[in-house]
Amino acid sequence: MTPIFPGFLLNILSAIAVLMTAALTVSAQTPKASPSPTPGNDSQTEKILIRRVRLPITVTDKKGSFVPGLTKEDFIVLEDKVPQAIETFSDDMSQTTPLYVAVLIDTSASTAGKLKFQQESAMNFIHTVVRPRKDRVLVGTFDDEVKLRQDFTDKIDLLDRAVFAIKQTGTHTSLFDAVWQFCDEKMRSAPGRRVLVLVTDGGDTYSRANQRDAIDIAQRTETTVFTISTKAGFLSTVPGVEAGTVANAGDRVLQNLAEETGGISFFTGDMISLERSFTKISKELRAQYLVTYNPINKNYDGSFRKIDVRLAERKGDLKVRTKRGYKALSDAP
């Protein structure tokens, strides 16, 4: 057997030693991956839901005039009769908080003879209430279908084009579906005060949602609903539709939608009184107070939470108006 040359063996051993040293060096420099959190692992982050309720509050005197100058200490907020700590308070929303307004126009068969009036009403409202370069408006319609005609914008020309591009009316009235869809898809994520205006002659004949559904979604998305009925005072051109009556079932629907969400209803049939309604809404939106609180009850079980806002001291028969409550669900904003 030929003996292995000692120098050759020494070179092999030296090479092996260099490779092992390099491997150890790489291993030492490579950071170890942190173990993935598992249930019960202390490194797992617990998510805590924090849901603050925002309340636009209107205060009026016995003549219906808006009352300015109140402070945080003047208000008491109760949820299910339990006092809540007010976290933030603003009395100057006209300067600090933009408006996001959804104007929804009824284009069902009963509006066939008054579509132009409703279009003019919608644009007059937009011109009266909306501040250019600050507020945003979208336009939608509802009949057999609910349609977005123009998404949120501050450009009056786009809104005007969208409103007057409406040429045809449908057959049925999907009023509750319209409120549900626009509150859920648009108002929920709007980064300002949320207002929905319904221009309609009232009544719902086609929705899958019902009145309670519409009120619930508006309350949960903190949307104030104003309803403008265009029925009173008209001579209807649609057979079987009675005009000029107020306080029927359709009118009560509009009243409930507004009152439960902190808004107000207007029943009118001519442009002069309609413009007065617009002016009143505009003044109210500028005169509101905004209160937020973090509910003491953190159990979001779908139950209805009743809200009651009072003044700490009786101040000459003042009236306080805000939404009447909300359904406690975790998907609310």
Does one domain contain both 78 and 130?
A: no
Domain residue limits at 146: 97-287
Query: Is 85 inside a domain boundary?
Result: yes
Look at residues 122, 149, 257 and name the one whose alpha carbon lies nearest to residue 202: 257
Query: Is 44 inside a domain boundary?
Result: no
CATH number at residue 186: 3.40.50.410
Strands 304-311 and 325-327, by their bridges, are antiparallel
Does one domain contain both 312 and 180?
A: no
Sign (positive or negative) of CA dihedral 9, 11, 12, 13: positive
Q: What is the pLDDT of residues 77-135, one digit of tens each?
A: 999 999 999 999 998 766 678 999 999 999 999 888 888 888 988 898 898 888 888 89
Query: Is 33 inside a domain boundary?
Result: no
Hey, how many other C-beta atoms are within 10 angstroms of the C-beta on 269?
19
Does one domain contain both 86 and 179?
A: no
Does one domain contain both 166 and 216?
A: yes
The pLDDT of residue 333:
55
DSSP code per residue over 238-276: STT---S--SSHHHHHHHHHHHHHT--EEE--SHHHHHH
In this predicted structure, the answer to whether residue 23 has a pLDDT above a threshold of 60 is: no
Half-sphere exposure of 243 (CA within 13 A, CB side): 17
pTM for this prediction: 0.80
Does one domain contain both 76 and 171?
A: no
Does one domain contain both 318 and 245?
A: no
The domain tally of the chain equals 2
Q: What is the pLDDT of residues 171-185, one digit of tens each?
A: 999 999 999 999 999
Cα separation values, 300 from 53, 284, 305, 327, Å: 13, 32, 10, 9
Q: What is the pLDDT of residues 201-241, one digit of tens each?
A: 878 999 999 999 999 999 999 999 999 888 764 444 444 34
DSSP H helical segments within the chain, as ranges? 6-29, 93-96, 115-129, 156-164, 175-182, 211-220, 249-261, 271-287
Does one domain contain both 75 and 118?
A: no
Report the pLDDT averaged over residues 189-197. Answer: 94
Token code pair at residue 78: 């109760």
Does one domain contain both 224 and 311?
A: no
Does one domain contain both 256 and 116?
A: yes
Does one domain contain both 66 and 112?
A: no
Query: Is 20 inside a domain boundary?
Result: no
Does one domain contain both 141 and 221?
A: yes
How far apart are the C-alpha atoms of 247 and 293, rounded to whole Å? 36
Half-sphere exposure of 4 (CA within 13 A, CB side): 7
